[in-house]
């Protein structure tokens, strides 16, 4: 059967299976905010599912006794299983999508993001994984019986803490997962469908209800009944272990395979079909009108993803680019938008403008937008060092933009990506012990130089491996299997502009000119996410334990600092993630006191280093 609920279809229905009612949706449910929803109900009960559940456990016991392998469906918290489930869902998501030669990179990024999503849901969601198991595993699972505990608030923190240990390793690539499904207790916001439920669904009733989503079956197993077995196991688990009376799911109205699956699993329509949310998930009449200048670029596209992920409210969005790109079409939250040419009249009636179109464009159009009453958040370097323009990292210095509001004009500058990543990690330590001196060495990814740089790195890598001469267009040096000083212009003092941005911007953001800062910025052959090695000297003593505690309590920072496993942050950990990752927290042994630390930091320079930071600034304007 197909990858049911693989977030690739335009419309869904709400189904119920009851007295155990169940729901199946996609791994990217909010992509389908415009979906048709329809509830289903049947008069069947869960006895057939429970019977199948027991039969499969008996078969597991028999397989274990016979020393045979067999296909098993079990709730799992093992890294290998969750990683394989995330990878299977990523492959299903991109199965029918044309994304060019970077498809495997997109799959890897999706799998990583979904893997961490599964970990974040620990204590709230149970993931079922279908895979071939050996005799020992079958014996363990047969003995375990149906003892999976229902997600409970009291246990959620402990389960999330246990999941955090898995996060350090990241997803491990394709595995043995043949099918997967998520099941959880029902909540109004389940799978991103807050406000998109038909009447009669017991979202807040006294009896627990459940929600099924992310039913995906590997291509090799389709047509063999595995999808129905997954649903039956989910129903049985919720019924036996949690006492659930009803489970619900969302299904796309034109996904015939999914409809057959749920009809065959005892689900039926329930209530009237709800119309699609034609104006987008977060579109509201009283929201600000947004303009995005530079929509076709990497950061412009990331703006859309971040606005969607954060459910940013808006009444309308105007997408702006050069004359060459005008006429292109983008679909955002179910609505198709046509890119308009950026002109001096583009900002009339606009409340917030997000700029990422380059410094020269910002210098020309940002003041025009501000004069028209539009509040500008600019990602270029054009206004960063202008004295009366706030330079803001929301977690660090939100007070710098106090009093600024959407629709009131003004310009707010986004710091350079390397500065944001560094200060997200260093600011909590600065507040704890006052930084006197900071030495930063950056290792910056290709995507910081744009899509063309990424393509050149990939092309050169192929050329080197095939023994061909390398093609150099973007950089004057071979990029593949090499590293070199950052490609920004050199200044008279021997530092390049990227290094001086870090020095000057830090002083402005902290509002302190007495901190001594030096930097060396290097371009490395990594596709996405920057890394930084930072040495710090403090005015006060600070221990490693105190430093870790300060970092752990700072919003937007995650710790990967496992010395025993030699496991610390990598650019892959940070790629496509909101947080900045910090590790290698250690005392500077070149000093004879406790006033020195070394740390290693990784952050996604397109996300937190650009688009996410800008959207967070825009949120402060509301």
Residue positions annotated with a catalytic role: 417, 530
Block residue for tokens 């952050």? 603
Joined together, the tokens standing for residue 567 give: 């496991």
Residues counted in the chain: 622
- The residue ranges of DSSP E strands in 159-245, in sequence order, are 179-185, 209-217
Give the DSSP H/E element, type plus range, for residue 133: strand 125-133
Joined together, the tokens standing for residue 292 give: 């995005």
Q: Which residues pair with 198 in a beta bridge?
A: none
Radius of gyration of the chain (CA): 26
| Distance, CA of 95 to chain centre | 20
Bridge-based pairing of strands 289-293 and 316-321 is: parallel
Joined together, the tokens standing for residue 122 give: 């620990």
d(CA 321, CA 346): 10
- The residue ranges of DSSP E strands in 494-579, in sequence order, are 516-523, 530-538, 557-559
What SS3 class is residue 341? strand
- Say if CB 586 and CB 597 are below 8 A apart: yes
DSSP 323: T
Other C-beta atoms closer than 10 Å to the C-beta of 403 total 7
Alpha helices (runs of H) in 212-350, residue ranges in sequence order: 226-242, 256-264, 298-309
Joined together, the tokens standing for residue 478 give: 């071979």
Widest Cα–Cα separation across the chain: 80
């Amino acid at each position: 059967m197909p990858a049911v609920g693989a977030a690739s279809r335009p419309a869904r229905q709400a189904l119920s299976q009851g007295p155990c009612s169940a729901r199946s949706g996609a791994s990217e449910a909010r992509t389908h905010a415009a979906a048709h929803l329809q509830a289903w109900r049947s008069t069947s009960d869960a006895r057939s599912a429970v019977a199948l559940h027991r039969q499969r456990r008996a078969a597991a016991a028999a397989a274990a006794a016979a020393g045979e392998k067999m296909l098993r469906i079990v709730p799992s918290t093992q890294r290998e299983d969750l990683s394989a489930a995330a990878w299977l869902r990523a492959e299903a998501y991109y199965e029918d999508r044309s994304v060019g030669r970077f498809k495997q990179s997109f799959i890897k990024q999706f799998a990583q993001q979904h893997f961490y999503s599964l970990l974040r849901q620990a204590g709230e969601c149970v993931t079922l994984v279908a895979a071939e198991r050996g005799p020992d595993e079958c014996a363990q699972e047969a003995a375990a019986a149906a003892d999976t505990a229902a997600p409970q608030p009291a246990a959620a923190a402990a389960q999330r803490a246990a999941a955090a240990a898995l996060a350090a390793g990241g997803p491990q690539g394709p595995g043995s997962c043949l099918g997967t499904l998520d099941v959880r207790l029902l909540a109004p916001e389940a799978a991103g469908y807050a406000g998109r439920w038909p009447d009669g669904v017991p979202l807040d009733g006294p009896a627990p209800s459940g929600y099924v989503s992310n039913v995906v079956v590997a291509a090799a197993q389709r047509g063999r009944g595995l999808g129905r077995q997954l649903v039956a196991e989910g129903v049985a688990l919720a019924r036996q272990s949690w006492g659930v009376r009803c489970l619900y799911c969302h299904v796309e109205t034109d996904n015939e395979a999914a409809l057959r699956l749920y009809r065959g699993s005892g689900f039926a329509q329930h209530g009237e079909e709800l119309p699609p949310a034609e104006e987008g998930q977060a579109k509201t009449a009283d929201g600000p009108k947004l303009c995005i200048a530079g929509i076709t670029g990497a950061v412009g596209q990331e703006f859309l993803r971040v606005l969607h992920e954060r459910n940013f409210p808006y009444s309308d969005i105007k997408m702006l680019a050069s004359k060459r790109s005008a006429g292109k079409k983008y679909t955002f939250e179910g609505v198709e938008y046509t890119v308009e040419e950026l002109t001096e009249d583009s900002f009339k009636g606009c409340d917030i403008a997000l700029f990422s179109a380059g410094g020269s464009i910002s210098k020309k159009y940002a003041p025009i937008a501000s004069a028209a009453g539009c509040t500008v958040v600019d990602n270029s370097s054009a206004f960063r060092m202008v004295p009366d323009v706030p330079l803001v990292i929301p977690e660090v210095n939100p007070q710098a933009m106090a009093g600024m509001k959407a629709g009131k004009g003004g310009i707010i500058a986004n710091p350079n990506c390397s500065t944001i990543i560094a200060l997200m990690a260093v600011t909590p330590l600065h507040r704890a012990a006052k930084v006197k001196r900071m030495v930063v060495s950056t290792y910056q990814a290709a995507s910081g130089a744009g899509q063309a740089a990424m393509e050149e790195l990939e092309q050169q890598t192929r050329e080197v491996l095939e023994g061909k001469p390398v093609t150099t267009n973007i950089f004057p040096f071979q990029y593949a299997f090499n590293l070199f000083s950052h490609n920004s212009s050199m200044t008279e003092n021997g530092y390049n502009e990227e290094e001086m941005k870090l020095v000057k911007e830090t002083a402005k953001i902290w509002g302190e000119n007495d901190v001594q800062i030096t930097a060396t910025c290097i371009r490395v052959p990594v596709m996405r996410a920057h890394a930084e090695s930072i040495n710090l000297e403090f005015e006060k003593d600070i221990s490693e334990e105190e430093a870790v505690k300060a970092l752990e309590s700072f919003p937007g920072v995650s710790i990967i600092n496992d010395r025993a496993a030699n496991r610390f942050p990598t650019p892959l950990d940070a790629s496509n993630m909101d947080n900045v990752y910090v590790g290698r927290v250690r005392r500077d042994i070149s000093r004879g006191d406790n006033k020195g630390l070394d740390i290693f930091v990784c952050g996604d320079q397109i996300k937190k280093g650009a688009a996410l930071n800008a959207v967070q600034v825009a949120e402060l304007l509301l």
